A and B are shown apart, each in its own frame.
Chain A
């Protein structure tokens, strides 16, 4: 038995698999051509895809627009940088970021989830603004300059190890981490927990009548989103060797929202494609004109008005149709 949601999630997985194939080709071609710039750019696109994924969990599933998700991304980056400066271990940095994400998500969720709707958007915006300004003013964290000198690390994979300085190698590491984050989010949201989040989005007054606690579910999705953002943020200093307060600023949060809208809200895989789309657009338009924001902004407004489902809203139904056809032709029950 398959329902529409399962079919469309399967379609997302196929599209995610396609993305991995493309990424592997990119890595192979990049490595063969000895390219650094484009591989690093693609790595950054994947890192910010993780942040977009976390925005999509809140916006696309739970119906909560966060305007301050960069808070967790930026804190993850700072925590990872501080950890790496003490102990240059990839796994330790990721683990510390993961643990902090859970704790910070609980604290932030407790504050932000007291309100709904536009007030939630504004309180997340306000929280991020407070913390961003505090970090901006803290000299021990490098203040407005941020922190440089995050060491180059070796990612120990048991049989082999990959240096974060290797463009193709680290691209593959980030690809793996981002796909794991996608897989965890997709798995959790395909359980009854995910269905309940969709139910909350549709009508949060009826969910309690079904015997579920809407506040707990909402907190669960908030913590999940915060943790994903923190872990993807942890990858940033490994790529760039520095962190700056801009990672927590509104422009970073806003970019993640644009990514999700362009990619397709509530599809998860749309966040990944959206991040790549936005990075490509910025670098292509940026080579013509320095005023790329006009075009990005117009595209975004166009998407909000004419294609609220984004890129995946156009592509995914086609894949879903193909999947249902395949399922039926193999003798599956409709």
Chain B
């Protein structure tokens, strides 16, 4: 009886939890950029999923040119920074001061998402691309086989998430970002270059999405609508965790992907999406501010 339960854990439950954990880290990486952009600029970036896809596409193309994976991890986010900066300065800034900024910025980024998705189709074609896994092999931990790349994903993902939180909450730049989110005018009069902070934070968020694209490309296929499929989950994580909260994104990301992983064991996998979105709707009904507070209020 005891052995049966342990076998069940080892061969059924534990692998599913690990799969959920990898997906969780991935979703948090995408949600992190989304939540920083929302917390600071109050902008729902509907094109965030397409920036994630862009990162994946660029990494596939550069890898085909012979650029090693380790270099991509630095190169792609660096390439995404000026793209994000330009998008903020050229597009978001134009409608940032309109009376209903929430709606206009949401619509503008929605339009951008449409354009980007079709541009991907134009450049890279509609069929899924599958890059090679940079780290092969698996290790065995307590009788559990873990593919090395997934272990690496969890590790580097955790590092990036902790690093981002440290930047936001422990550095001078992070303090400026939080000040600008808390009170734009006060921060500006104290000498915080608010415009630069806004564009910089947007670029940082976009670059995080690109990094998630590089990391996830070897696990899931790369195709034009990949951003659209993934962004729903990232939005759910941001809402449940509380828009603009890094800790919230982490907790909600881990929680929701575990719900997804476990639910697909006991109920059919096709029902995990309604469950996760159902949690989001209920959360919005009972506690729209999410589990944790906003970026500028913590």
Contacts and interface: CB of A to CB of B under 8 A. Distances in A.
Nearest to A299: B111
B285 A293 contact: no
B224 to A, nearest CB: 10
Interface of B is mostly: helix
Interface residues of A, number: 38
B235 interface: yes
Contact of A117 (B98, B102, B232): B102
Contacts of A118: 44, 102, 106
Interface in B249-298: 268, 270-271, 273-274, 277-278, 280-281, 284-285, 288
A294 interface: yes
A327 B98 CA distance: 34
Nearest to A260: B107
Interface in B155-214: none
B133 to A, nearest CB: 30
Given A115-B284, A293-B114, A296-B114, A257 B44 contact: no
B117 interface: yes
B285 A114 contact: yes
A129 B285 contact: no
Contacts of A291: 118, 121-122
Contacts of B113: 297
Interface string A124-166: 0111011001101100000000000000000000000000000
Given A118-B44, A137-B270, A293-B117, A111 B285 contact: yes
Contact of B95 (A115, A121, A254, A305): A305
Interface in A266-322: 291-294, 296-298, 300-301, 304-305, 308
Interface string B65-102: 00000000000000000000000000100110010101
A91 interface: no
B230 interface: no
Contacts of A133: 270, 273-274, 277
B54 interface: no
A258 B94 CA distance: 19
A115 B280 CA distance: 13
A294 B119 contact: yes
A143 to B, nearest CB: 9
Contact of B288 (A119, A127, A258): A119
Contacts of B111: 258, 297-298, 300-301, 304
B108 A305 contact: yes
A64 B181 CA distance: 25
Contacts of A117: 102
Interface string A163-202: 0000000000000000000000000000000000000000
B115 interface: yes
B16 interface: no
A129 B118 CA distance: 23
Contacts of B106: 65, 118, 121
A261 interface: yes
A63 B106 CA distance: 14
B98, B270, B274 interface centre (most CB from chain A within 10 Å)? B274
Contacts of A296: 114
Give the interface residue-count category, chain B: 35 or more
B284 A137 contact: no
A302 B104 CA distance: 12
A319 B203 CA distance: 44
A298 B115 contact: yes
Nearest to A293: B118
Interface string A236-280: 000000000000001000100110010000000000000000000
B103 interface: yes
Nearest to A292: B118
B280 A126 contact: yes
B27 interface: no
A114, A127, A292, A301 interface centre (most CB from chain B within 10 Å)? A301
B290 to A, nearest CB: 10
A122, A258, A291 interface centre (most CB from chain B within 10 Å)? A122
A129 B277 CA distance: 7
Interface string A100-117: 000000000001001101
A114 B273 CA distance: 23
A123 interface: yes
B110 interface: yes
B59 interface: no
A119 B284 contact: yes
Nearest to B94: A305
A134 B115 contact: no
26 contacts: A115-B284, A118-B106, A119-B239, A121-B102, A121-B103, A122-B44, A122-B235, A122-B284, A126-B277, A126-B284, A129-B273, A129-B277, A130-B281, A133-B274, A134-B274, A137-B268, A137-B271, A292-B118, A293-B114, A293-B115, A293-B117, A294-B119, A298-B115, A300-B107, A305-B95, A308-B98
Interface of A: 59, 63, 65, 111, 114-115, 117-119, 121-123, 125-127, 129-130, 133-134, 136-137, 250, 254, 257-258, 261, 291-294, 296-298, 300-301, 304-305, 308
The 7 closest A-B CB pairs, nearest first, are A297-B114, A297-B115, A293-B118, A301-B111, A300-B111, A123-B284, A294-B118
